[in-house]
Amino acid sequence: MAEYLSTTKKKITAPLYFEMKQNGEKISWLTAYDYTTASIIDAGGVDTILVGDSASNVADGNMTTLPITVDQMIYHARSVARAVNHALVVCDMPFGSYQVSAEEGLRNAIRIMKEAGVDAVKIEGGAEIAPMIKRMVDAGIPVSGHLGLTPQSVHKFGGYGLRAKGDAEAEKLIADAKALDEAGCFCIVLEKIPADLAKKVTEAVSCATIGIGAGPHCDGQVLVYADMLGMNRGFKPKFLRQYADLYEIITNAVGRYVNDVKTADFPNETESY
Ligand code: KIV
């Protein structure tokens, strides 16, 4: 695995992102929501672990990201932060934690940093939240933006389809990215937008862009770990590359274990005291 590790073996920091972008070093992200998974993913050499609010779906079994709370995000993020030595750890600010006011958003961002021990937060939204992001950055909190398909707005969009297909939405997205860049974001996640638009955004901003379903021109890529490891059988969108079939491996191992218990083959003499 060593040749796939980031060229820097040090702990990844938010300021390092600007160097990586300038040097053309692509930035790898994966999600994680618990200690054991995060420690394995960190050992694999990923640059950043995102404690995404996709925890609401993947870890908690909800249909959307909307139900997860600040307390639940802190629980997941603290478990991940304890496991990680190399990767930058970013925690999503959940739905409802920053929409009411900039003060409340700032207070919740500070709470997440203090109680979860993560390195940065991520927030969905464009120019309208840029003043709040500037206050967070001024308070010492590295912030990642998130544009395009923003799952916390699924009910407004009416689904999880491709965003910014038309000129008006594409122009707004570029303006939003510039506003987030000027507010001090160290990176912006671009979710499910055309590859050409992601290229334009990547060239227009000084911070790094991290794509998911946004093509090859972004400065980095992010996937949900359970999807890329094949743990979620029903989910196979065009943008997903699956690197393992853990569903098959785990159900097979569980089946063999059940059989060994039923046949009294497990435990045997060497496995007993
Ligand atoms: O919550 C999440 O996992 C995310 C990624 C899909 C970018 O925001």
**AA identity, residue 67:** P
Q: What is the pLDDT of residues 207-229, one digit of tens each?
A: 999 999 999 999 999 999 999 99
Is 210 a pocket residue for ligand 1 (Cβ < 6 Å)?
A: no
- Report phi then psi at 11, rounded to 5: -60, 130
- How many other CB atoms sit within 10 Å of the CB of residue 40? 13
Q: How confident is the prediction for the chain on average, in pLDDT?
A: 96
Q: Where are the domains of the chain?
A: 2-242, 246-273
- Looking at residue 5, its pLDDT comes to 47
- Looking at residue 234, its pLDDT comes to 87
Fold held by 2-242: TIM Barrel (3.20.20)
Cis before 267? omega within 30: yes
- Looking at residue 9, its pLDDT comes to 67
Closest CA to 117 of 73, 85, 77, 87: 77
- Report phi then psi at 215, rounded to 5: 80, -175
Is 53 a pocket residue for ligand 1 (Cβ < 6 Å)?
A: yes
Q: Averaged over 229-243, what is the pLDDT?
A: 95
- Report phi then psi at 176, rounded to 5: -65, -45
Tokens for 64, please give them. 């959307």
Is 54 a pocket residue for ligand 1 (Cβ < 6 Å)?
A: yes
Q: pTM for this structure?
A: 0.96
Q: How far is CA 219 from CA 179, 202, 214, in A?
A: 18, 7, 11
Find out whether 1 and 45 touch, Cβ atoms under 8 Å: yes
Q: What is the pLDDT of residues 26-60, one digit of tens each?
A: 999 999 999 999 999 999 999 999 999 999 999 99
The tally of CA atoms less than 13 A away on the side-chain side of residue 37 is: 21
Q: Averaged over 117-135, what is the pLDDT?
A: 98
DSSP state letters, 82-108: HH-SSSEEEEEPPTTSSSS-HHHHHHH
Q: Is 43 exposed, middle or buried (0-12, 13-18, 19+ CB in 10 A)?
A: middle
Find out whether 121 and 90 touch, Cβ atoms under 8 Å: yes
- Report phi then psi at 92, rounded to 5: -70, 140
Q: What is the pLDDT of residues 132-154, one digit of tens each?
A: 999 999 999 999 999 999 999 99
Ligand 1 closest atom vs CA 189? 7
With a CB cutoff of 8 Å and minimum separation 6, the contacts of 182 are 130
Ligand 1 closest atom vs CA 122? 8
- How many other CB atoms sit within 10 Å of the CB of residue 239? 15
Is residue 19 annotated as a catalytic residue, yes or no? no
Tokens for 70, please give them. 């600040």
Is 219 a pocket residue for ligand 1 (Cβ < 6 Å)?
A: no
Catalytic annotation, pick one of 19, 191, 203, 248: 191
Residue to substitute in 62, 89, 222 for testing ligand 1 pocket (most ligand atoms within 8 angstroms of CB): 222
DSSP state letters, 195-257: HHHHHHHHHH-SSEEEEESS-TTSSEEEE-HHHHTT--TT---TT------HHHHHHHHHHHH
With a CB cutoff of 8 Å and minimum separation 6, the contacts of 162 are 149, 192, 193, 194, 213
Is 94 a pocket residue for ligand 1 (Cβ < 6 Å)?
A: no
Q: Whose CA is nearest to atom 4 of ligand 1?
A: 52
DSSP state for residue 146 in the 8-state scheme: E
